[in-house]
Chains A and B, each alone.
Chain A
Amino acid sequence: MIKKTLTLIVAVVIAIWFLSPVVLIVISSLTPSAEYYDPSRILPRSLTLDHLRSLFVTLGGWRATLNSIQVAGMSIGISFLFGLPAAYALTRFVFRGKNSIRLGILLTRSFPVLIIGIPLLILYMRIGISDTLLGVALAHTSMVLPFVVLISSSIIGGISVEYEEAGMIFGLSRFASFMRITMPLVLPGLAASAIFAFIMSWNEVFVAAILTVGSRTLPAHILNAAMTAPDYFKFAAGTIMAVPAMIFIFFTRKYLMSLWGISLK
């Protein structure tokens, strides 16, 4: 009983610790501007969607949100297109230099995308994809791809190769066996890593800000537009940034657990 109470208290403290900033941000973003600057009030008497609305509609936030979703979608797509076969090969086949390749993939993460931002911009200008969503998506892919390869390879590695071989024995080709036997088994894990990739791209601000002028992603746009605006706009921007990520994590939290090796069984 005491143990249970203690656990509860600890849980509540942790929850408050993590949630209170989020709650404050959300509340501030909903506070009417007159009340926001009233030092005698902590909690507002009424709430308003004005800041969010003007951020979305007047300040072009809606466009930027769509841009962000497109960029994240593209970089997830490209990352999985190349990352999944790479992960499969790293897990299932024995070949020379496998460990070096694994290490090499990890090493690419040690260069912050920030460093490659300027060279990328120059390169993009040359090949004519500067200030495009594809350009940002490719930059984000370079950030997301190693992550996708390594996580996917550990997820595939968690599925016994004998399942797949059984598929091959009982009438499927290697590819069909992967698609019909292994895929359903790894899908939850892959979905979780896709969500992770999504959030990585969603949150990335520097490269997006360097590479684009017209078609900005949401964080880049906010950095540009909201940072010179009054505080409640900043909070509104924070809310817009945080909420989608939180919704995603809420729905995929049990798969995220499996991502870190806690079994789903």
Chain B
Amino acid sequence: MAEVTIRGVKKHFGEVKALDGIDLKIEDGKFVVLLGPSGCGKTTLLRCMSGLEKVTEGKVLFGEKDVTGYAPKDRNVSMVFQSYAVWPHMKVYSNIAYPMKIKKFDKQEIEKRALDTAKLLGISELLDRYPVQLSGGQRQRVAVARAIVLEPAVLMMDEPLSNLDALLRVLMRSELKKLQERLGTTTVYVTHDQVEAMTMGDLIAVMKDGIIQQYGRPEDIYHRPANKFIAGFIGSPQMNFINVEVKRKEGKMCLIAPGIEVECTRENEQKIDRGKHKRLIMGIRPENIHHVAGREATPIEGKVYFTERLGAETIVHLKVGDMRIISKIAGDEIFEEDKEMNMYVDTSRIRLFDPESERSILD
């Protein structure tokens, strides 16, 4: 087990800057998710940590030890690959035992550990089979068993659930998380799936263009996104972004767009620099727009354009001026299309971004 420190890591492939200066500290025993769209560099970062990829610049430390120049085999890491990479010419038992065999454990130890790990993953019955005889889910369990059997300092997973069907994915999500909690192994998990990131990670590092955009707890990432990209990337349906003008009205600071006029909360008012912020981007999540009035709620007027009735919740597309505002309402509600109606914005949940830098101005 180990703490992982990434210091100023850059990775260039020719002209392409896959990683453009990464600093990251992963505490011992934490489950950290690298989240981002494809091509953001998350897998490259993982591969740099594992040693499969050499860094162009910067350092990788496990605990106090600088492992930057180490080969993967000398780093005491393990990995669950996207394709599982369970060796097809070996039976399940050999797959799990092979890492120990390479490290020259004695026979009894190998057998004991392999059987214990197989039991933990619930694959004891499959030990005598070849990988081609297994289903995707079973193969994945074998890959996980192989990865944890050596008790690595760092466990790495590269989109391990992306090849499973939806139902199994939900199941494995909780199982992997439980397993990690039980083992207490420092884990780095790469995914592009925000739900996996939110549900599994102790911490999430959101990446884009080879840079970590924000590193924090899932709830912080969700409720206090550092910039517009993160705000839009996490949450479904996506956060509503509205270009607003900042104006003073009757002594109060207001955010104004065609059809929308929202008073700022006192905290937000203090963050707005009147000289600099004449225009802002207002972000509001669909679940913070309600169809009934409540505390700190500002009405917006619009016309129902479309509704998605999902059973447990209803998603309403409201046409306000030229914009389409999306609201998520709990329960199965019926709204008549083309009907004029008021929706209520929870002003305490509003996020504000600078239109130039797209950074949040609130924290």
Determine if A184 is an interface residue (Cβ-Cβ < 8 Å).
yes
At the interface, yes or no: B197 with Cβ under 8 Å from chain A? no
A265 surroundings in chain B (CB, below 8 A): 132
Chain A residue nearest to B79 (CB atoms) is A169
Number of B residues near A (Cβ < 8 Å) is: 24
Say if the beta carbon of A6 comes within 8 Å of chain B. no
A165 with B98: CB separation less than 8 A: no
Q: Are A170 and B89 in contact (CB under 8 A)?
A: no
Give chain B residues whose Cβ lies under 8 Å from the Cβ of A181: 87
Q: Is A248 engaged at the interface, CB distance under 8 Å to the other chain?
A: no
Cross-chain contact of A170 among B51, B88, B102 (Cβ < 8 A): B102
Interface string of B224-240 (1 = CB under 8 A from A): 00000000000000000
Task: Tell whether A94 is near chain B: CB-to-CB under 8 Å.
Answer: yes
| Residue in contact with A185 in the complex, picked from B50, B77, B82, B88, CB distance below 8 Å | B88
Task: List B residues 57-90 near A (Cβ within 8 Å).
Answer: 71-73, 77-79, 81-83, 85, 87-89
Q: A170-B98, A171-B99 are in contact. Are A165 and B73 (CB under 8 A)?
A: no
A169 touches B72 (CB 8 A): yes
Q: How far is the CA of A167 from the CA of B79 in the complex (A)?
A: 10
- Chain A CB count within 10 A is highest, among B77, B82, B87, for B87
**Cβ contact within 8 Å between A162 and B71:** no
Decide if B30 is an interface residue (CB 8 Å cutoff): no
Complex: how many Å from CA A229 to CA B72? 66
Residue A37, interface by CB 8 Å: no
Q: Are A169 and B89 in contact (CB under 8 A)?
A: no
The complex places the Cα of A48 from the Cα of B182 at a distance, in Å, of 79
A169 to B86, CA, bound (A): 13
Instruction: Please determine whether B81 and A94 come into contact, CB atoms closer than 8 angstroms.
Output: no
- Asked if B168 is at the interface of the complex by the 8 Å CB criterion, the answer is no
Give the distance in Å from the alpha carbon of A171 to the alpha carbon of B77 in the complex.
9
> What per-residue 1/0 map shows which CB atoms of A162-190 lie under 8 Å from chain B?
11011111111100000001001100000
Q: Does the CB pair B73–A160 fall under 8 Å?
A: no
CA distance A169 to B52 in the complex (A): 8
**Cα of A172 to Cα of B52 in the assembled complex, Å:** 12
A166 touches B73 (CB 8 A): no
* B146 contacts chain A at the CB level, 8 A cutoff: yes
Q: How far is the CB of A155 from chain B (nearest CB, A)?
A: 15
Residues of B near A185 (CB, < 8 A) are 88-89
Interface-centre pick from B51, B71, B77, B82 (highest chain A CB count, 10 A): B71
B interface list, Cβ under 8 A from A: 13, 50-52, 71-73, 77-79, 81-83, 85, 87-89, 98-99, 102-103, 132, 146, 150
Q: Report, nearest first, the 7 A-B pairs whose CB atoms are least far apart.
A: A171-B102, A162-B85, A170-B99, A166-B85, A162-B81, A168-B72, A171-B73
| 14 A-B pairs with C-beta separation under 8 A | A160-B83, A160-B85, A162-B82, A163-B88, A165-B72, A166-B85, A168-B51, A168-B52, A169-B78, A169-B79, A170-B99, A171-B102, A172-B102, A265-B132
